[in-house]
Structure 1
Amino acid sequence: MSYFPRADDFALAPGYDYTPAGPNDFIFNHDTLQTVPPIDNTLSDTPSFHNDFDDIRPFSSPNKTYIFSTKYEKFHVTPHHRAGYNKIYNFRRLKSFFFELVDHLPDTNQLQLKIYTNDYHMSSNPINHDSTSRLPNFKFQISKQLTHFFSTQKVIPRKLQEKFFTLIRKKLLERLDFIRSRAQKKDKNNHMTKTFFNFLYKKYRFYFGIYLPCNHTHTIGLLPNTTATCSIPVPFTMSHDRHACIIHHKNLVLYCISKDNKIPDFSRCKTFKDFHASRLYNRWTKKKFHQNFSNRLGISFTTSYHAYNPNVVATKGFDFIYGKSYGNLQFTPSSSPKVKKRQEARFNALIRHTFHNAKLDDNALPDDKLHVARHHKLLFQENQSFITPIKHLRYKKRFVVPTKGYYTFPIPFHKPRIVPVPAIVEPICNDSSVAPTPTANSISPVNTNIWENVPEHYIPLIPPYDIYEGGRFNQPSRGKIRKKNLQPLAVGSDGWLAFMKVIYDEYVSRTKHLQEKINAGIQWETTPDQGEYRRNLCSAIMQVTDHIHEYEMKLLEISSSVPPELPVITGPIKNSERKKREKRHLQKLKEFERKKQEDTEILEVLRRWVRNDENIFYMNYYKKDYSLAYQPCAIMDDRPLKRRARDNGNLDTHYGYHVDKKVCILSDSKDLENSSSTRTT
């Protein structure tokens, strides 16, 4: 049997004392109601921030043995967002183990260490350990907790446990130093230090870490006065001892230090969203440009912030407040020929990769390439520019002009542009009837059509009437046009192109839907409307059938499962062997009950799916108000070759009578020879 070295195999250092933790000291379990029992010699504990824990042994007694236990404590969270550092809460593909460390004596008579895990297959039975110290040091606690882990897991073989034991213990002690160093800092920043590290063995994933409780209060049940302290492990810690679990991340206090002195202070903003919106507003009003360089690709470009017109929110329902503008692409290759060659290769590979994922070849239309490049925020031409919306800052209501009173941060409001209509200057004729010479300041017409800006696919869709400002669904009436003397938009202008884009998008959507209906009619060999109806009906029926099949299979599996029986023993047998068989039988029964409970929960979920599908199917196809009689597309096609019930002899047994068989008279001997059987009248 391999021997794991103990962390406290040493003599007590002379002059070492222990004092209780003060209010500014970092305590792992954050239990401030601890009391240190009186002892003969008052000792003081000085925390160490290095991995050498062999010189600390508090409360040691060579003639007395203290007993403490280790056990598993299960935790579970409900939020679904489990990416990044929140991956420790995912229990399907990986397992997390957080080791609780105690740095002060508890009120109970026996010290109990817990390993917080999301693996519900681990046994919750505690295991006792012996120690010559009343309060073992951290290295000894981690050693015993790792011993408990390796004795209960069934993945890592025994021949590799000693190697991984030393490695994991070393990583945990290092992680302990990282957590202490970060939590005790007084810096006003949002730098994070993870409380865990990854450990992989073949296809199995483990996350080992130091347990830090969330300690945020939350309400229990329906009563608002009933609160409890959250004990879920946290994935990170920050300065000023700030940490929280996935449920209480929004309760953390974040510091915002800006490099721009003109940006308002964070203390004046109620939330971080207000600060972010105020900063964007200031950068937009100052028309601040940022020059971006990429030495890896050998390019540079500029970015700035663009504010969308609030009128677009009322007309089109476009609720984005700001957008980011990209443009002014310039190639700035390196002076070294080798580096320049690599930069060009990377840039060309990026362009090929972007267009290949969008399924565009080299012969694709330029408009399609520009659309894909805008979607992926790619600049590949010097004269290219586009604006992408900032999606995490939006207006609260669509199709309504924004009001400043609804927001706690400044909103960009554009002043209405007034286009002055130039007065027609009539030439003044004198008595000599001499025409005046044209002046240099000649008046130009208000609208100038620019047909060069009109794409080819817009030309067949141009409406026969004039287009005015206001969007697709907010065109002014004739009376308003005549009363206010409104001027139509010039062909090729920005507003005119935006109007035509809405018309073109509607045309593409309508054409696509019509083509899908035609394809469904061809597939079902009927009209497009009936083909679409049958396709949707078939999809609904297949979904209901699949769920019913899964439910019936799971029900059959549960009903056919039988509990394991204790094998019958014939002949004499030892008591030890009998106990081993009974223990194995008891384990099989527990495993059977656990699996039966899981199958019952799965069966209940499948039953709910079947009920929901049946209700949806009834509402859409069998309800009186939406029955097949009220849907013309549900009427079946006329089938003149279909055999009716009165002509179908296969249904004679169903109706209880038989139709007389037809009489066949054979008049020629050749018919008798050629017939396979003799028929009589």
Structure 2
Amino acid sequence: MFYFPRANDFALAPGYDYTPAGPDDFIFNHDTSQTVPPTEDILLDTPSFHNDFDDIRPFSSLNKNYIFSTKYEKFHVTPHHRAGYNKIYNFRRSKSFFFELVDHLPDTNQLQLKIYTNDYHMSSNPINHDSTSRLPNFKFQISKQLTHFFSTQKVIPRRLQEKFFTHIRKKLLERLDFIRSRAQKKDKNNHMTKTFFNFSYKKYRFYFGIYLPCNHTHTVGLLPNTTATCSIPVPFTMSHHRHACIIHHKNLVLYCISKDNKIPDSSLCKTFKDFHASHLYNRWTKKKIYQNFSNRLGISFTTSYHAYSTNVIATKGLDFIYGKKYGNLQFTPSSSPKVKKRQEARFNALVRHTFHNTKLDDNALTDDKLQAARRHKLLFQENQRFTTPIKHLRYKKKFVEPSKGCYTFPIPFPESTTVSVPVTVETICNVSSVASTSHGNPISPANINNWENVPEHYIPLIPQSAIYEGGRLNQPSRMKVWKKKLQPLAVGSDGWLAHMKEIYDHHESMTEYQQGKIDAGIQWETTPDQGEYRRDLCDLIMQVTNNKHDYEMKL
């Protein structure tokens, strides 16, 4: 028979010793004044897990029943900024419920547990409960408070309360361990641990958490000497028992984390600048190539370090020592169609945002787009490459070749002069190779068209304009061809055939894609676009069904 679990179902095991709280114990309701309510208390310093909460409370008795009550306590705050962790104070679109836990006997005859909430529709009438222990453990207290919550709320149906009851109680016990672990730390940092967790059912949103009062004093009324202790629940806790509500955030003691870089003990450098420069020099000499992935955008690219030539420093006056090279962009989308669609949408939005900030439209020149992408360190084409200078490490003088004796760290020039050759080839792209052939041998075999090497399936796809080096998506503009006197690739050469292979592969992929849309439209008896959408949706449903079937088979 289906029934709603009640807290009476959880009995306690007697016979455990009671350990009083010490001076360093974690205080839940810490207050040095005499205005602390009787229910405010401290938690034991002994670490425990929620699986052991059944057997950590004293005063067990199987022959006598003790009565305690649970009730709602309303709270309200006036500040309007309720974003981030302050969302627990929002009462229009969500409701908050913070469970107060007691771990020592109060001075009153009867124990009273409170649920602090900002839902003013909840009844404030207390509900009595029976217990065989004079001081129930945390699991029993939370069970009774959840019983009170489910018996007064009107949102979650009764048929689902059993599952949510166990789930919420487990999360609250885990949150209690998190809070105690963070508050007892002695670290001098500003890391925060939330005292609540999110819970939603259909369109209803709840925030369940452990009640931790603010305990900051504030003035009450017009008289400056009249003060009171704030009892509003706090959204987070920090090390050294630091916490505050939204009103008293400014009263928190925050540690100033120094941003000064420290030199490792194993290094012989005297300053961090020397250590950083030596580190970059080692990476440059080893020619390390780093592979970078972005699962959010579904792309991958490589980065490496490049040293500027002394000719650039002496002639152009650039004082940058190193630069960072970006390239080899590859699209690595997810296998899930839904995730792949989101990745493509994010990447396209990033490209549009970058060009919009530089006031470029879709019809802008390719050179302008590449320049804007280089300025914003954006890779949007597969054959795109650029180098950005590392601005925080520079030479001391401009228009002068650097000397080794002027620096306390190793510099890449002029000792390693052979490195400038590949850098020149990369920065000028194809100009060096074309210029050498044009001036030395203007009628070289590389510039003679050879139609015999052209495959037949490439001929219908040959573009009317000339083909230059750089790939299908990185062809130079007419202005760049005129300024740098670029020479087109000869028909039938290796570069020309590689370019045509890219065009042919792109044409085949687009043809296959369009044919797939047409077939989907015929299969679903609708337009190609709607057919593609229904096919992808059907594939997604089948994938989810197969995963569910595999999971059930494992069980």
TM-score (norm 1): 0.42
Instruction: State the Cα distance separating 1:17 from its structure 2 match.
Output: 2.9
Instruction: State the Cα distance separating 1:158 from its structure 2 match.
Output: 0.7
Q: 2:301 aligns with which of 298, 301, 305?
A: 298
**Closer/same/farther in 2, CA of residues 367 and 127 from structure 1, 3 Å limit:** farther
**Closer/same/farther in 2, CA of residues 223 and 10 from structure 1, 3 Å limit:** closer
CA distance in 1, matches of 2:184, 2:54: 23
Instruction: State the Cα distance separating 1:45 from its structure 2 match.
Output: 9.5
For residues 544-576 of structure 1, the C-alpha deviation after alignment (integer angstroms, 9 at most, x for no partner) is xxxxxxxxxxxxxxxxxxxxxxxxxxxxxxxxx
Match of 2:252 in 1: 252
Choose 221-230 or 103-112, whichever is displaced more: 221-230
Match of 1:410 in 2: none
Match of 2:166 in 1: 166
Match of 1:207 in 2: 207
TM-score (norm 2): 0.51
CA distance in 2, matches of 1:46, 1:24: 11
1:352 aligns with 2:348: yes
Q: 2:325 aligns with which of 330, 347, 368?
A: 330
Q: Give yes or no for contact 1:182–1:237 (8 Å, CA) kept in 2.
A: yes
* 3-state SS of paired residue (2:141): helix
For residues 213-268 of structure 1, the C-alpha deviation after alignment (integer angstroms, 9 at most, x for no partner) is 111122223333222211111111122111111222222222344463579xxxxx
Q: Give yes or no for contact 2:190–2:255 (8 Å, CA) kept in 1.
A: yes
Match of 2:231 in 1: 231
Match of 2:53 in 1: 53
CA distance in 1, matches of 2:118, 2:389: 47
Instruction: State the Cα distance separating 1:47 from its structure 2 match.
Output: 5.6
User: In the alignment, residue 48 of structure 2 is paired with which amino acid?
Assistant: S
User: In the alignment, residue 148 of structure 1 is paired with which amino acid?
Assistant: H
1:219 aligns with 2:209: no
Match of 1:124 in 2: 124
* 3-state SS of paired residue (1:51): helix
**Closer/same/farther in 2, CA of residues 216 and 342 from structure 1, 3 Å limit:** same
Instruction: State the Cα distance separating 1:330 from its structure 2 match.
Output: 2.4
1:140 aligns with 2:136: no
User: In the alignment, residue 103 of structure 1 is paired with which amino acid?
Assistant: D
* 3-state SS of paired residue (2:53): coil
Q: Give yes or no for contact 2:60–2:132 (8 Å, CA) kept in 1.
A: yes
Instruction: State the Cα distance separating 1:370 from its structure 2 match.
Output: 9.0
Instruction: State the Cα distance separating 1:23 from its structure 2 match.
Output: 2.2
Match of 1:20 in 2: 20
Match of 1:9 in 2: 11
CA distance in 2, matches of 1:8, 1:182: 29
Instruction: State the Cα distance separating 1:204 from its structure 2 match.
Output: 0.9
CA distance in 2, matches of 1:259, 1:374: 29
Q: Give yes or no for contact 1:12–1:56 (8 Å, CA) kept in 2.
A: no
Stretches of structure 2 that go unaligned for 5 or more consecutive residues are 39-43, 264-271, 284-289, 295-299, 306-319, 334-339, 391-555
**Closer/same/farther in 2, CA of residues 362 and 198 from structure 1, 3 Å limit:** same
CA distance in 1, matches of 2:372, 2:327: 24
1:528-539, aligned counterparts within 5 Å? none
Instruction: State the Cα distance separating 1:29 from its structure 2 match.
Output: 2.0
CA distance in 2, matches of 1:112, 1:233: 18
Q: Give yes or no for contact 1:7–1:53 (8 Å, CA) kept in 2.
A: no
CA distance in 1, matches of 2:30, 2:362: 63
* 3-state SS of paired residue (1:130): strand
CA distance in 2, matches of 1:371, 1:109: 78
Match of 2:332 in 1: 342
User: In the alignment, residue 240 of structure 2 is paired with which amino acid?
Assistant: H
Q: Give yes or no for contact 2:97–2:209 (8 Å, CA) kept in 1.
A: yes
CA distance in 2, matches of 1:59, 1:382: 74
Match of 1:190 in 2: 190
Q: Which of 1 and 2 has greater Rg?
A: 1
User: In the alignment, residue 293 of structure 2 is paired with which amino acid?
Assistant: N
CA distance in 1, matches of 2:368, 2:231: 53
* 3-state SS of paired residue (1:176): helix
CA distance in 2, matches of 1:329, 1:194: 40
Instruction: State the Cα distance separating 1:209 from its structure 2 match.
Output: 0.6
CA distance in 2, matches of 1:47, 1:238: 18
CA distance in 2, matches of 1:383, 1:372: 11
Match of 1:109 in 2: 109
**Closer/same/farther in 2, CA of residues 353 and 155 from structure 1, 3 Å limit:** same
Q: Give yes or no for contact 2:193–2:238 (8 Å, CA) kept in 1.
A: yes
Match of 2:489 in 1: none
CA distance in 2, matches of 1:262, 1:45: 35
Instruction: State the Cα distance separating 1:289 from its structure 2 match.
Output: 12
CA distance in 1, matches of 2:225, 2:370: 58
User: In the alignment, residue 354 of structure 1 is paired with which amino acid?
Assistant: L
For residues 109-132 of structure 1, the C-alpha deviation after alignment (integer angstroms, 9 at most, x for no partner) is 221111111111111111111112
**Closer/same/farther in 2, CA of residues 221 and 328 from structure 1, 3 Å limit:** farther
User: In the alignment, residue 123 of structure 1 is paired with which amino acid?
Assistant: S
Q: Give yes or no for contact 2:26–2:45 (8 Å, CA) kept in 1.
A: no
CA distance in 2, matches of 1:103, 1:46: 12
Match of 2:85 in 1: 85
**Closer/same/farther in 2, CA of residues 168 and 378 from structure 1, 3 Å limit:** same
Choose 157-166 or 48-57, whichever is displaced more: 48-57
1:419-438, aligned counterparts within 5 Å? none
**Closer/same/farther in 2, CA of residues 247 and 7 from structure 1, 3 Å limit:** farther
Instruction: State the Cα distance separating 1:373 from its structure 2 match.
Output: 6.8
Match of 1:412 in 2: none
User: In the alignment, residue 11 of structure 1 is paired with which amino acid?
Assistant: A
Q: Give yes or no for contact 1:354–1:376 (8 Å, CA) kept in 2.
A: no
CA distance in 2, matches of 1:168, 1:342: 39
CA distance in 2, matches of 1:99, 1:347: 41
Match of 1:178 in 2: 178
1:357-396, aligned counterparts within 5 Å? 361-364=361-364
Match of 2:71 in 1: 71
Alpha-carbon RMSD: 4.3
Match of 2:30 in 1: 30
Instruction: State the Cα distance separating 1:378 from its structure 2 match.
Output: 5.1
**Closer/same/farther in 2, CA of residues 88 and 180 from structure 1, 3 Å limit:** same
* 3-state SS of paired residue (2:200): strand
CA distance in 1, matches of 2:370, 2:327: 22
Instruction: State the Cα distance separating 1:362 from its structure 2 match.
Output: 2.3
For residues 433-459 of structure 1, the C-alpha deviation after alignment (integer angstroms, 9 at most, x for no partner) is xxxxxxxxxxxxxxxxxxxxxxxxxxx
Choose 369-378 or 45-54, whichever is displaced more: 369-378
Instruction: State the Cα distance separating 1:142 from its structure 2 match.
Output: 0.3
CA distance in 2, matches of 1:6, 1:364: 73
**Closer/same/farther in 2, CA of residues 186 and 199 from structure 1, 3 Å limit:** same
